[in-house]
Amino acid sequence: MGKREAYVAQLRSVQDWEGFLKKHSGLPGPRGNLELAQAAADAGTLRQFREWLRQDARRAPTNTPGEFVAFCGVLGHGRLLAEGRASAATVLRAAASDPRWRVREAAAMGLQRLGQADMSALLRIVEPWSRGRLLEQRAAAAALCEPALLTSQPQTRRVLRLLDRITRGLARCQDRRSPDFRVLRQGLGYCWSVAVAADPQAGRPLLEKWAESPDPDVQWLVRENLGKARLARVDRRWVAAMKARLARRPA
């Protein structure tokens, strides 16, 4: 029995799930208990997930056990979405813009549960997100850019087009000092490398195009992606040539 399965068994043996989640959350600390969160999402009910979402940013600030409970509630809605409860997408979309970064991450992870079951359905759901608020765009990109999900060439190319659209929006953004802009930029700083590694033939020309952008934030995200080991494993010589090209451009 793995750790996740063991936690499922433990949860089913206790009455106070929320108390158990808080006690074993790992928070405050650098890393929440992801195995427990996945177990809670596996075994919990809609009623429990809704109750856990009452731990909002006011009641449960960042890096507190209450935040972990909210994380589990969001992740649980990802399971429900994968099982066919369409209304769960609304909860995930709201969580994508939560002020707490762990809750935002739970939204992306919850979407990935749907992607594991039906990648086409995930693409349909996040397509509008890619045109939405900055943090919604970040959640869409982060959810899709998971190597285990990018196994179909047509779907990977849809992901690349979505990243291209989001990057185009980033380059047009006026408020570069907002926290949401920085979060989106940070996400794109790794998402491109995942999608390009999954389909280099389609992905490399797009990243080459963005390498020619005069926008400093776009140049930054291209450099960040070129620094990822996954791209070097795909085509080390191309990465070196791209880095040399960027080095010749004004910072």
**What's the confidence (pLDDT) of residue 231?**
97
How large is the average pLDDT for residues 214-225? Answer: 97
The pTM assigned to this predicted structure is: 0.95
Residue from 120, 151, 139 nearest 191 by CA: 139
Interatomic CA distance for residues 105 and 75, integer angstroms: 9
The per-residue pLDDT for range 111-134, each reduced to its tens digit, is 999 999 999 999 999 999 999 999
The DSSP secondary-structure symbol of 70 reads H
Residue from 203, 153, 214, 151 nearest 226 by CA: 203
Res. 100: pLDDT tops 80: yes
The per-residue pLDDT for range 27-37, each reduced to its tens digit, is 999 999 999 99
How large is the average pLDDT for residues 55-59? Answer: 97
The per-residue pLDDT for range 73-95, each reduced to its tens digit, is 999 999 999 999 999 999 999 99
Residue 194, sorted as left (phi over 0), alpha (psi -120 to 50) or beta, turns out to be: alpha
**What's the confidence (pLDDT) of residue 248?**
84
Q: Which residues have C-beta within 8 Å of that of residue 238, sequence separation ≥ 6? A: 200, 204
Instruction: Cite the DSSP H helix spans in 12-87.
Output: 17-23, 34-43, 46-52, 65-82
Number of Cβ atoms within 10 Å of the Cβ of 97: 17
